[in-house]
Amino acid sequence: MTHGGRAAVLIQENAGSGNGLPFTANILKNNTLRASIKMADIFCGKASVQTAIYVLEVNRPHNADNDLVRFIDFSNDGYTRMNRKKSGQSVNLRDTDHAKERYDEVCRLVLYGKGANDKNLHYFKDCYTEDYITLSGNDWTYGQHQKIDTVPTEEDFQNVVREYLSWKVGQVLKGENGLGKQ
């Protein structure tokens, strides 16, 4: 891989949030981070560690201004895991929510991104984002780039008003004005 190619590393997720320094910063000097995939609890009680897969383009330095990284929360991979030591895979690992399709979608997202009009997004619409990272090597995790919409919708406003009016009517029926007994 000295001439190029791709590499995928399964590692403890917090290695990408600063605990892997200086190694992560050094990796970016010669390689480009293409994707950061937050994994499900793949060890199911055997090790309490959150893992991630970091996909790299080898032998091409990361450009912080031009190289978009694909961040995917794959904590729901479609499998249900059980912690039974002596039972078979059919019991310990069951496809309960389109696991094969979810893995296919993650592969497409890593290779091609969301595509025009989000054509590659079905299962991970709310669990995918593209963003830039710095060359410091401490901002590789999904949680650091997760987009949280804090703008309230009209429905949010209506629900708050509805709850307030319901409370106010209850207070009036009890003979209270909301500031104490009358």
Burial environment of residue 58 by CB neighbours within 10 A (0 to 12, 13 to 18, 19 or more)? middle
User: What length does the chain have?
Assistant: 182
Whether the per-residue pLDDT at 31 is higher than 90: the answer is yes
Name, in order, each residue with C-beta under 8 angstroms of 68's C-beta and a sequence gap of 6 or more: 113, 130, 131, 132
State pTM to two decimals: 0.72
SS3 readout for the chain: CCCCCEEEEEEEHHHHHCCCCCHHHHHHHHCEEEEEEEECCCCCCCCCCCEEEEEEECCCCCCCCCCCEEEEEECCCCEEECCCCCCCHHHHEEECCCHHHHHHHHHHHHHHCCCHHHCCCCCCCCCEEEECCCCCCCCCCHHHCCCCCCCCCHHHHHHHHHHHHHHHHHHHHCCECCCCEC
Q: Helix (H, G, I), strand (E, B), or coil: what is residue 92?
A: helix
Q: What is the pLDDT of residue 150?
A: 72
Name, in order, each residue with C-beta under 8 angstroms of 144's C-beta and a sequence gap of 6 or more: 17
- Read off the pLDDT band of 175 (50, 70, 90): confident
Give yes or no for a contact between 34 and 71, defined as CB atoms under 8 angstroms apart. no
Can you tell me the distance from the alpha carbon of 157 to that of 123, in angstroms, rounded to the nearest whole number?
28
Whether the per-residue pLDDT at 10 is higher than 70: the answer is yes
Q: What is the pLDDT of residue 50?
A: 86
What pLDDT digit, counting tens, does each position of 112-161 carry?
988 767 877 889 888 899 999 999 999 999 989 887 777 788 888 888 88
What pLDDT digit, counting tens, does each position of 98-111 carry?
889 999 999 999 99
Q: What is the pLDDT of residue 170?
A: 87
Q: What is the pLDDT of residue 182?
A: 45
Whether the per-residue pLDDT at 49 is higher than 90: the answer is no
Whether the per-residue pLDDT at 90 is higher than 90: the answer is no
